[in-house]
Amino acid sequence: MTKATSVLLEDELRQLDDYYGMIENDELDLDDLEMEILDFDAISLEDMYTGAKTVNEGENDNIMERSTEDIREVEIITKFVEDTLCRDNNVAIMRNINMPDETKTEKLKQAINHLEEANIQRKFYNDIRKDASVALTQAKQLEQKPGIRVFSIDYAQNIHYPSSEMQVGPAFFKTARKCGIFGINDEADNTQTNYLIDECDNIGKGANSVINLIHHHLESNNCDQDNQHICADNCVGQNKNNAVVHYCAWRVASELNKTVHLNFLLVGHTKFSPDRMFGLLKQKFSKSTVDTLHDIEECVANSTVSGKNKAICTNDYVNGIINVQWYEWNAFLSEFFTTIPGITQYHHFIIKSDDPFTVECKVLANNPVQKFNIVKKGVTLDDITGMPNLLVPPGLSLARQWYLFEEIAPLCTSKDAANLTCPKPQKAKPTSQMAKVDQPGPSAKKTRKVTTCGHCKEPGHTIRSCKQNKK
Protein backbone atom coordinates (compact mmCIF):
# COMPACT_ATOMS: atom_id res chain seq x y z
CA MET A 1 0.00 0.00 0.00
CA THR A 2 1.45 3.38 -0.99
CA LYS A 3 1.79 6.19 1.50
CA ALA A 4 -0.63 8.40 -0.42
CA THR A 5 -3.24 5.66 -0.51
CA SER A 6 -2.80 5.01 3.20
CA VAL A 7 -3.39 8.68 3.98
CA LEU A 8 -6.47 8.71 1.74
CA LEU A 9 -8.03 5.69 3.43
CA GLU A 10 -7.13 6.97 6.88
CA ASP A 11 -8.87 10.31 6.29
CA GLU A 12 -11.99 8.60 5.03
CA LEU A 13 -12.05 6.05 7.86
CA ARG A 14 -11.76 8.76 10.47
CA GLN A 15 -14.99 10.24 9.17
CA LEU A 16 -16.70 7.08 10.41
CA ASP A 17 -15.01 7.08 13.82
CA ASP A 18 -17.83 8.89 15.61
CA TYR A 19 -20.38 6.49 14.17
CA TYR A 20 -18.58 3.19 14.66
CA GLY A 21 -16.13 4.11 17.42
CA MET A 22 -13.46 1.69 16.20
CA ILE A 23 -10.41 4.00 16.40
CA GLU A 24 -8.75 4.12 19.79
CA ASN A 25 -6.20 6.53 21.24
CA ASP A 26 -6.28 8.56 17.98
CA GLU A 27 -4.23 5.83 16.32
CA LEU A 28 -5.29 3.98 13.19
CA ASP A 29 -3.35 0.98 11.95
CA LEU A 30 -4.67 -0.06 8.55
CA ASP A 31 -2.86 -3.37 8.74
CA ASP A 32 -4.42 -4.13 12.11
CA LEU A 33 -7.85 -3.50 10.62
CA GLU A 34 -7.10 -6.09 7.93
CA MET A 35 -7.48 -3.43 5.25
CA GLU A 36 -6.43 -3.72 1.62
CA ILE A 37 -6.62 -1.45 -1.39
CA LEU A 38 -10.04 -2.36 -2.68
CA ASP A 39 -12.10 -1.47 -5.70
CA PHE A 40 -14.31 1.32 -4.42
CA ASP A 41 -16.78 0.73 -7.23
CA ALA A 42 -17.44 -2.78 -5.91
CA ILE A 43 -17.44 -2.05 -2.18
CA SER A 44 -18.48 0.85 0.00
CA LEU A 45 -16.21 2.33 2.64
CA GLU A 46 -18.56 1.15 5.37
CA ASP A 47 -18.25 -2.43 4.13
CA MET A 48 -14.47 -2.06 4.17
CA TYR A 49 -14.64 -0.80 7.71
CA THR A 50 -16.71 -3.70 9.00
CA GLY A 51 -15.09 -6.27 6.73
CA ALA A 52 -18.53 -7.33 5.59
CA LYS A 53 -17.97 -7.57 1.84
CA THR A 54 -15.31 -8.57 -0.64
CA VAL A 55 -14.37 -7.16 -4.01
CA ASN A 56 -14.83 -8.84 -7.34
CA GLU A 57 -12.46 -11.71 -8.04
CA GLY A 58 -9.14 -10.69 -9.51
CA GLU A 59 -9.58 -6.97 -8.91
CA ASN A 60 -6.86 -6.52 -6.27
CA ASP A 61 -3.96 -7.03 -8.70
CA ASN A 62 -5.27 -4.35 -11.02
CA ILE A 63 -5.96 -1.93 -8.19
CA MET A 64 -2.40 -2.25 -6.87
CA GLU A 65 -1.14 -0.98 -10.25
CA ARG A 66 -3.25 2.16 -10.21
CA SER A 67 -1.44 5.45 -9.85
CA THR A 68 -1.94 7.74 -6.89
CA GLU A 69 -3.77 10.24 -9.13
CA ASP A 70 -6.28 7.59 -10.23
CA ILE A 71 -6.98 6.58 -6.64
CA ARG A 72 -7.51 10.18 -5.56
CA GLU A 73 -10.11 10.63 -8.30
CA VAL A 74 -12.21 7.75 -7.01
CA GLU A 75 -15.38 9.04 -5.43
CA ILE A 76 -16.06 7.33 -2.13
CA ILE A 77 -19.69 7.14 -1.17
CA THR A 78 -20.33 6.39 2.49
CA LYS A 79 -23.52 4.56 3.31
CA PHE A 80 -24.69 4.82 6.87
CA VAL A 81 -27.08 2.18 8.12
CA GLU A 82 -30.09 3.89 9.60
CA ASP A 83 -32.51 2.29 11.98
CA THR A 84 -36.27 2.44 11.56
CA LEU A 85 -36.66 5.42 13.86
CA CYS A 86 -34.01 7.41 11.97
CA ARG A 87 -35.74 6.61 8.70
CA ASP A 88 -39.15 7.60 10.07
CA ASN A 89 -37.74 10.86 11.39
CA ASN A 90 -36.18 11.69 8.02
CA VAL A 91 -39.40 10.86 6.17
CA ALA A 92 -41.41 12.99 8.59
CA ILE A 93 -39.08 15.95 8.05
CA MET A 94 -39.31 15.69 4.25
CA ARG A 95 -43.10 15.35 4.28
CA ASN A 96 -43.53 18.44 6.46
CA ILE A 97 -41.62 20.89 4.29
CA ASN A 98 -44.77 22.92 3.59
CA MET A 99 -46.15 22.55 7.10
CA PRO A 100 -46.06 25.29 9.76
CA ASP A 101 -42.71 26.05 11.36
CA GLU A 102 -43.89 24.64 14.69
CA THR A 103 -44.54 21.24 13.13
CA LYS A 104 -41.20 21.18 11.31
CA THR A 105 -39.41 22.23 14.50
CA GLU A 106 -41.02 19.40 16.45
CA LYS A 107 -39.99 16.80 13.87
CA LEU A 108 -36.44 18.12 13.82
CA LYS A 109 -36.28 17.98 17.61
CA GLN A 110 -37.36 14.33 17.57
CA ALA A 111 -34.63 13.44 15.06
CA ILE A 112 -31.96 15.38 16.94
CA ASN A 113 -32.94 13.87 20.30
CA HIS A 114 -32.71 10.36 18.87
CA LEU A 115 -29.24 10.98 17.44
CA GLU A 116 -28.10 12.55 20.70
CA GLU A 117 -29.24 9.46 22.60
CA ALA A 118 -27.36 7.26 20.16
CA ASN A 119 -24.22 9.36 20.66
CA ILE A 120 -24.53 9.09 24.45
CA GLN A 121 -24.65 5.30 24.25
CA ARG A 122 -21.83 5.17 21.72
CA LYS A 123 -19.61 7.40 23.85
CA PHE A 124 -20.22 5.23 26.92
CA TYR A 125 -19.33 2.13 24.92
CA ASN A 126 -16.12 3.69 23.60
CA ASP A 127 -15.13 4.93 27.07
CA ILE A 128 -15.38 1.53 28.74
CA ARG A 129 -13.47 -0.05 25.84
CA LYS A 130 -10.63 2.40 26.41
CA ASP A 131 -10.75 1.78 30.18
CA ALA A 132 -10.44 -1.95 29.58
CA SER A 133 -7.49 -1.46 27.22
CA VAL A 134 -5.66 0.78 29.73
CA ALA A 135 -6.39 -1.64 32.58
CA LEU A 136 -4.98 -4.56 30.58
CA THR A 137 -1.78 -2.63 29.77
CA GLN A 138 -1.26 -1.71 33.40
CA ALA A 139 -2.03 -5.24 34.58
CA LYS A 140 0.63 -6.67 32.25
CA GLN A 141 3.20 -4.26 33.62
CA LEU A 142 2.33 -5.18 37.21
CA GLU A 143 1.87 -8.87 36.35
CA GLN A 144 -1.62 -9.06 37.77
CA LYS A 145 -5.21 -9.38 36.57
CA PRO A 146 -6.93 -6.28 35.18
CA GLY A 147 -9.56 -4.72 37.41
CA ILE A 148 -12.07 -4.34 34.59
CA ARG A 149 -13.03 -6.58 31.66
CA VAL A 150 -15.36 -5.66 28.82
CA PHE A 151 -16.91 -8.34 26.61
CA SER A 152 -19.19 -7.68 23.64
CA ILE A 153 -21.45 -10.54 22.61
CA ASP A 154 -23.53 -11.24 19.53
CA TYR A 155 -24.88 -14.00 17.29
CA ALA A 156 -23.83 -14.13 13.65
CA GLN A 157 -25.97 -15.44 10.83
CA ASN A 158 -25.83 -19.22 10.48
CA ILE A 159 -23.50 -20.66 7.90
CA HIS A 160 -24.05 -23.88 5.94
CA TYR A 161 -21.56 -26.55 5.03
CA PRO A 162 -20.27 -28.16 2.89
CA SER A 163 -19.64 -24.90 1.06
CA SER A 164 -17.46 -23.89 -1.86
CA GLU A 165 -16.69 -20.67 -3.69
CA MET A 166 -17.45 -22.67 -6.86
CA GLN A 167 -20.89 -23.74 -5.69
CA VAL A 168 -22.69 -26.16 -7.94
CA GLY A 169 -26.20 -25.26 -9.05
CA PRO A 170 -28.19 -27.96 -7.18
CA ALA A 171 -26.64 -26.92 -3.86
CA PHE A 172 -28.64 -23.69 -3.95
CA PHE A 173 -31.91 -25.61 -3.57
CA LYS A 174 -30.75 -27.85 -0.73
CA THR A 175 -30.43 -27.25 3.00
CA ALA A 176 -26.88 -28.16 3.97
CA ARG A 177 -25.71 -28.80 7.51
CA LYS A 178 -26.04 -25.71 9.67
CA CYS A 179 -23.54 -24.13 12.04
CA GLY A 180 -24.36 -21.26 14.39
CA ILE A 181 -21.74 -18.74 15.47
CA PHE A 182 -21.74 -16.87 18.78
CA GLY A 183 -18.96 -14.32 19.23
CA ILE A 184 -17.54 -12.93 22.49
CA ASN A 185 -15.14 -10.07 21.83
CA ASP A 186 -12.60 -9.00 24.47
CA GLU A 187 -12.52 -5.24 23.97
CA ALA A 188 -9.20 -4.84 25.79
CA ASP A 189 -7.12 -6.54 23.07
CA ASN A 190 -9.78 -7.02 20.36
CA THR A 191 -9.58 -10.81 20.38
CA GLN A 192 -12.79 -12.69 19.70
CA THR A 193 -13.81 -16.20 20.65
CA ASN A 194 -16.33 -17.64 18.19
CA TYR A 195 -18.36 -20.56 19.46
CA LEU A 196 -19.27 -22.90 16.60
CA ILE A 197 -22.61 -24.53 17.36
CA ASP A 198 -23.27 -27.43 15.02
CA GLU A 199 -26.80 -28.38 14.10
CA CYS A 200 -26.60 -31.54 16.20
CA ASP A 201 -25.72 -29.47 19.31
CA ASN A 202 -28.24 -26.68 18.80
CA ILE A 203 -30.57 -25.75 21.67
CA GLY A 204 -31.91 -22.61 20.00
CA LYS A 205 -30.81 -18.97 19.98
CA GLY A 206 -32.71 -17.90 23.07
CA ALA A 207 -31.54 -16.56 26.40
CA ASN A 208 -30.61 -20.02 27.66
CA SER A 209 -27.96 -20.58 24.98
CA VAL A 210 -26.59 -17.05 25.45
CA ILE A 211 -26.19 -17.57 29.21
CA ASN A 212 -24.51 -20.94 28.70
CA LEU A 213 -21.91 -19.54 26.32
CA ILE A 214 -21.24 -16.46 28.46
CA HIS A 215 -20.83 -18.69 31.52
CA HIS A 216 -18.42 -21.01 29.72
CA HIS A 217 -16.31 -18.10 28.49
CA LEU A 218 -16.15 -16.32 31.85
CA GLU A 219 -15.27 -19.49 33.75
CA SER A 220 -12.76 -20.69 31.17
CA ASN A 221 -10.89 -17.38 31.24
CA ASN A 222 -10.99 -16.86 35.03
CA CYS A 223 -12.99 -13.65 34.69
CA ASP A 224 -13.38 -12.86 38.40
CA GLN A 225 -12.62 -9.16 38.05
CA ASP A 226 -14.17 -6.56 40.33
CA ASN A 227 -15.91 -4.91 37.37
CA GLN A 228 -17.29 -7.10 34.61
CA HIS A 229 -18.98 -5.37 31.67
CA ILE A 230 -21.07 -7.25 29.10
CA CYS A 231 -22.20 -5.31 26.02
CA ALA A 232 -24.83 -6.50 23.58
CA ASP A 233 -27.41 -5.35 21.07
CA ASN A 234 -31.09 -4.92 21.85
CA CYS A 235 -32.34 -8.36 20.80
CA VAL A 236 -34.95 -9.10 23.45
CA GLY A 237 -35.17 -12.83 22.75
CA GLN A 238 -31.42 -13.35 23.19
CA ASN A 239 -29.78 -10.66 25.31
CA LYS A 240 -32.11 -8.03 26.71
CA ASN A 241 -34.32 -10.14 28.93
CA ASN A 242 -34.84 -11.05 32.56
CA ALA A 243 -32.96 -14.35 32.30
CA VAL A 244 -29.66 -12.66 31.37
CA VAL A 245 -30.12 -10.07 34.15
CA HIS A 246 -30.85 -12.91 36.59
CA TYR A 247 -27.63 -14.65 35.56
CA CYS A 248 -25.63 -11.47 36.26
CA ALA A 249 -27.25 -11.27 39.69
CA TRP A 250 -26.45 -14.95 40.27
CA ARG A 251 -22.77 -14.34 39.50
CA VAL A 252 -22.59 -11.51 42.03
CA ALA A 253 -24.56 -13.46 44.64
CA SER A 254 -22.22 -16.43 44.11
CA GLU A 255 -19.21 -14.10 44.63
CA LEU A 256 -17.86 -14.76 41.13
CA ASN A 257 -17.76 -11.00 40.44
CA LYS A 258 -18.11 -7.96 42.67
CA THR A 259 -19.97 -5.87 40.10
CA VAL A 260 -21.55 -6.82 36.77
CA HIS A 261 -22.64 -4.21 34.23
CA LEU A 262 -24.99 -5.25 31.43
CA ASN A 263 -24.98 -2.59 28.70
CA PHE A 264 -26.99 -2.24 25.48
CA LEU A 265 -26.53 0.09 22.53
CA LEU A 266 -29.47 1.99 21.10
CA VAL A 267 -31.67 0.13 18.63
CA GLY A 268 -30.45 0.65 15.09
CA HIS A 269 -27.06 1.92 16.27
CA THR A 270 -25.59 -1.38 17.39
CA LYS A 271 -22.57 -1.72 15.13
CA PHE A 272 -19.77 -2.89 17.39
CA SER A 273 -16.67 -5.06 17.58
CA PRO A 274 -18.24 -8.52 17.02
CA ASP A 275 -19.74 -7.36 13.72
CA ARG A 276 -16.31 -6.42 12.40
CA MET A 277 -14.85 -9.81 13.31
CA PHE A 278 -17.87 -11.60 11.83
CA GLY A 279 -17.30 -9.67 8.62
CA LEU A 280 -13.70 -10.88 8.39
CA LEU A 281 -14.85 -14.42 9.15
CA LYS A 282 -17.52 -14.39 6.45
CA GLN A 283 -15.06 -12.85 4.01
CA LYS A 284 -12.69 -15.77 4.50
CA PHE A 285 -15.52 -18.30 4.47
CA SER A 286 -16.82 -17.08 1.11
CA LYS A 287 -13.41 -17.76 -0.49
CA SER A 288 -12.80 -21.16 1.13
CA THR A 289 -13.81 -24.74 0.48
CA VAL A 290 -15.44 -26.01 3.66
CA ASP A 291 -16.52 -29.63 4.04
CA THR A 292 -16.36 -30.32 7.79
CA LEU A 293 -16.73 -28.55 11.11
CA HIS A 294 -12.94 -28.56 11.47
CA ASP A 295 -12.70 -26.71 8.16
CA ILE A 296 -14.90 -23.97 9.64
CA GLU A 297 -12.67 -23.87 12.70
CA GLU A 298 -9.62 -23.48 10.49
CA CYS A 299 -11.39 -20.85 8.41
CA VAL A 300 -12.05 -18.77 11.55
CA ALA A 301 -8.43 -19.07 12.68
CA ASN A 302 -7.16 -17.90 9.28
CA SER A 303 -9.64 -15.03 8.91
CA THR A 304 -7.20 -12.59 10.58
CA VAL A 305 -3.47 -12.31 10.02
CA SER A 306 -2.81 -11.61 13.69
CA GLY A 307 -4.92 -14.57 14.87
CA LYS A 308 -7.43 -12.45 16.79
CA ASN A 309 -10.37 -14.56 15.60
CA LYS A 310 -10.50 -17.84 17.50
CA ALA A 311 -12.94 -20.74 17.35
CA ILE A 312 -14.31 -23.27 19.84
CA CYS A 313 -16.60 -26.10 18.75
CA THR A 314 -19.25 -26.59 21.39
CA ASN A 315 -19.52 -30.23 20.34
CA ASP A 316 -16.62 -31.71 18.38
CA TYR A 317 -18.67 -34.66 17.17
CA VAL A 318 -15.83 -35.81 14.90
CA ASN A 319 -13.52 -36.53 17.85
CA GLY A 320 -16.31 -37.09 20.37
CA ILE A 321 -15.29 -34.11 22.54
CA ILE A 322 -17.90 -31.91 24.23
CA ASN A 323 -16.31 -28.54 24.98
CA VAL A 324 -19.44 -26.78 26.24
CA GLN A 325 -21.95 -28.36 28.59
CA TRP A 326 -25.48 -27.02 28.28
CA TYR A 327 -27.46 -26.20 31.42
CA GLU A 328 -31.10 -25.33 32.04
CA TRP A 329 -30.47 -21.81 33.30
CA ASN A 330 -33.96 -20.43 32.69
CA ALA A 331 -35.70 -22.82 35.06
CA PHE A 332 -32.88 -22.61 37.62
CA LEU A 333 -32.82 -18.81 37.84
CA SER A 334 -36.60 -18.44 37.88
CA GLU A 335 -36.63 -20.20 41.27
CA PHE A 336 -34.85 -17.23 42.91
CA PHE A 337 -35.60 -14.08 40.91
CA THR A 338 -38.59 -12.11 39.66
CA THR A 339 -38.97 -10.00 36.53
CA ILE A 340 -38.15 -6.32 36.04
CA PRO A 341 -41.19 -4.31 34.88
CA GLY A 342 -40.67 -2.52 31.57
CA ILE A 343 -37.24 -4.05 31.07
CA THR A 344 -37.02 -3.15 27.36
CA GLN A 345 -36.88 0.60 28.03
CA TYR A 346 -33.59 0.35 29.95
CA HIS A 347 -30.12 0.13 28.43
CA HIS A 348 -27.98 -0.35 31.54
CA PHE A 349 -28.29 -2.86 34.38
CA ILE A 350 -25.86 -2.85 37.30
CA ILE A 351 -25.64 -5.47 40.07
CA LYS A 352 -23.28 -4.86 43.00
CA SER A 353 -21.97 -7.19 45.69
CA ASP A 354 -23.25 -5.06 48.59
CA ASP A 355 -26.83 -5.86 47.47
CA PRO A 356 -26.89 -8.53 44.73
CA PHE A 357 -30.69 -8.71 44.81
CA THR A 358 -31.12 -5.08 43.72
CA VAL A 359 -30.67 -4.11 40.06
CA GLU A 360 -29.81 -0.52 39.21
CA CYS A 361 -31.39 0.34 35.87
CA LYS A 362 -30.80 3.35 33.63
CA VAL A 363 -32.54 4.26 30.38
CA LEU A 364 -29.38 5.97 29.09
CA ALA A 365 -25.86 6.19 30.44
CA ASN A 366 -26.36 9.72 31.80
CA ASN A 367 -29.86 9.15 33.24
CA PRO A 368 -30.72 8.72 36.92
CA VAL A 369 -30.77 5.25 38.46
CA GLN A 370 -33.95 3.31 39.15
CA LYS A 371 -33.65 0.39 41.54
CA PHE A 372 -35.61 -2.86 41.45
CA ASN A 373 -35.56 -5.71 43.95
CA ILE A 374 -35.65 -8.92 41.91
CA VAL A 375 -35.38 -11.60 44.60
CA LYS A 376 -38.39 -13.76 45.36
CA LYS A 377 -39.95 -13.64 48.79
CA GLY A 378 -38.18 -15.87 51.29
CA VAL A 379 -35.04 -16.41 49.17
CA THR A 380 -31.68 -15.71 50.84
CA LEU A 381 -28.06 -15.77 49.69
CA ASP A 382 -27.63 -19.22 51.21
CA ASP A 383 -30.38 -20.56 48.94
CA ILE A 384 -28.55 -19.57 45.75
CA THR A 385 -26.10 -22.43 45.49
CA GLY A 386 -25.17 -25.13 43.02
CA MET A 387 -25.62 -25.31 39.28
CA PRO A 388 -28.62 -25.94 37.01
CA ASN A 389 -29.49 -29.36 35.66
CA LEU A 390 -27.73 -30.51 32.50
CA LEU A 391 -29.58 -29.95 29.24
CA VAL A 392 -29.16 -32.50 26.47
CA PRO A 393 -29.57 -31.14 22.91
CA PRO A 394 -32.19 -32.98 20.84
CA GLY A 395 -29.69 -33.74 18.07
CA LEU A 396 -30.52 -34.49 14.45
CA SER A 397 -33.77 -36.25 13.69
CA LEU A 398 -33.58 -39.51 11.74
CA ALA A 399 -35.25 -37.87 8.75
CA ARG A 400 -32.67 -35.07 8.80
CA GLN A 401 -29.79 -37.57 9.00
CA TRP A 402 -31.03 -39.42 5.95
CA TYR A 403 -31.54 -36.13 4.09
CA LEU A 404 -27.94 -35.10 4.77
CA PHE A 405 -26.65 -38.52 3.71
CA GLU A 406 -28.62 -38.68 0.46
CA GLU A 407 -28.74 -35.03 -0.64
CA ILE A 408 -25.78 -33.24 0.96
CA ALA A 409 -23.04 -35.90 1.12
CA PRO A 410 -22.52 -35.84 -2.70
CA LEU A 411 -21.65 -32.13 -2.42
CA CYS A 412 -18.57 -32.83 -0.30
CA THR A 413 -15.25 -32.77 -2.12
CA SER A 414 -14.06 -36.09 -0.69
CA LYS A 415 -15.56 -39.31 0.61
CA ASP A 416 -13.81 -38.93 3.96
CA ALA A 417 -15.34 -35.48 4.43
CA ALA A 418 -18.78 -36.84 3.49
CA ASN A 419 -18.43 -39.60 6.09
CA LEU A 420 -17.69 -36.99 8.75
CA THR A 421 -20.31 -34.39 7.85
CA CYS A 422 -23.07 -36.59 6.44
CA PRO A 423 -22.51 -40.16 7.67
CA LYS A 424 -24.95 -42.92 6.83
CA PRO A 425 -27.53 -43.26 9.65
CA GLN A 426 -27.43 -46.48 11.64
CA LYS A 427 -31.21 -46.77 11.69
CA ALA A 428 -33.45 -47.58 8.76
CA LYS A 429 -34.86 -44.78 6.66
CA PRO A 430 -38.24 -43.56 7.92
CA THR A 431 -41.39 -43.70 5.84
CA SER A 432 -42.04 -41.09 3.20
CA GLN A 433 -44.51 -39.28 5.46
CA MET A 434 -41.94 -39.04 8.27
CA ALA A 435 -39.17 -38.07 5.88
CA LYS A 436 -40.95 -34.82 5.07
CA VAL A 437 -40.18 -33.58 8.57
CA ASP A 438 -37.37 -30.98 8.77
CA GLN A 439 -36.93 -30.97 5.01
CA PRO A 440 -37.54 -28.05 2.62
CA GLY A 441 -39.97 -28.36 -0.22
CA PRO A 442 -43.44 -27.41 -1.37
CA SER A 443 -46.19 -27.71 1.18
CA ALA A 444 -48.76 -30.45 0.81
CA LYS A 445 -51.93 -29.61 -1.09
CA LYS A 446 -54.76 -28.59 1.18
CA THR A 447 -57.94 -30.65 0.89
CA ARG A 448 -61.01 -28.61 0.12
CA LYS A 449 -63.45 -28.35 2.99
CA VAL A 450 -66.79 -30.03 2.27
CA THR A 451 -69.72 -27.61 2.53
CA THR A 452 -72.61 -28.67 4.77
CA CYS A 453 -76.13 -27.30 4.48
CA GLY A 454 -77.36 -25.43 7.55
CA HIS A 455 -80.97 -26.51 6.97
CA CYS A 456 -80.95 -30.22 6.12
CA LYS A 457 -77.44 -30.89 7.44
CA GLU A 458 -76.55 -32.74 4.23
CA PRO A 459 -73.10 -32.23 2.65
CA GLY A 460 -72.48 -30.94 -0.86
CA HIS A 461 -74.64 -27.81 -0.95
CA THR A 462 -75.49 -24.62 0.95
CA ILE A 463 -78.71 -23.48 2.59
CA ARG A 464 -79.49 -21.20 -0.37
CA SER A 465 -79.45 -24.08 -2.87
CA CYS A 466 -81.16 -26.53 -0.51
CA LYS A 467 -84.25 -28.02 -2.16
CA GLN A 468 -85.91 -28.83 1.16
CA ASN A 469 -85.54 -25.21 2.28
CA LYS A 470 -87.27 -23.98 -0.91
CA LYS A 471 -90.22 -26.24 -0.24
Low-confidence ranges of the chain (pLDDT < 70): 1-85, 97, 432-450, 467-471
Same domain, residue pair 329 and 296: yes
Residue of 117, 51, 26 whose CA lies nearest to 287: 51
Alpha-carbon gap, residue 180 to 160, rounded angstroms:
9
Which pLDDT value is given to residue 432? 63
Q: Compute CA distances 39 → 3, 51, 56, 304, whole Å.
A: 17, 14, 8, 20
pLDDT value of position 172:
84
Last-in-domain residue among 72, 90, 108: 72
Instruction: Evaluate the CA torsion angle 276, 280, 281, 282 in order and state its sign.
Output: positive
Whether 99 maps to a domain, the answer reads no
The identity of residue 334, as a single letter, is S
Closest CA to 400 of 371, 362, 429, 357: 429
Q: How many CB atoms lie within 10 A of CB 159?
A: 20
Residues 206, 333, single domain; the answer is yes
Do residues 449 and 427 both lie within one domain? no
Q: Are residues 361 and 409 in the same domain?
A: no
Q: Is residue 81 part of a domain?
A: no
pLDDT at 109: 87
Give yes or no: residues 335 and 447 share one domain.
no
- pLDDT for the residue numbered 134: 94
Per the structure, the complete domain to which residue 43 belongs is given by: 3-72
pLDDT at residue 74, rounded to an integer:
32
On whether both 254 and 234 belong to a single domain, the answer is yes
371 and 225 both lie in a single domain:
yes
Q: Is residue 98 part of a domain?
A: no
Domain count, the chain: 4
The per-residue pLDDT for 102 is: 82
CA of 239: how far to CAs of 81, 161, 213, 248, in Å? 22, 27, 12, 12
Whether 108 maps to a domain, the answer reads no
Domain membership of residue 101 (yes or no) is no
Same domain, 294 and 431: no
Report d(CA 379, CA 117) in Å as an integer: 38
The pTM score is 0.74
Task: Clarify whether residues 66 and 130 are in a common domain.
Answer: no
> Same domain, yes or no, for 212 and 64?
no
Q: Indicate if 358 and 210 belong to the same structural domain.
A: yes
What are the start-end ranges of the H helices in 196-338?
207-220, 242-253, 273-286, 293-301, 329-334
Q: Are residues 171 and 246 in the same domain?
A: yes
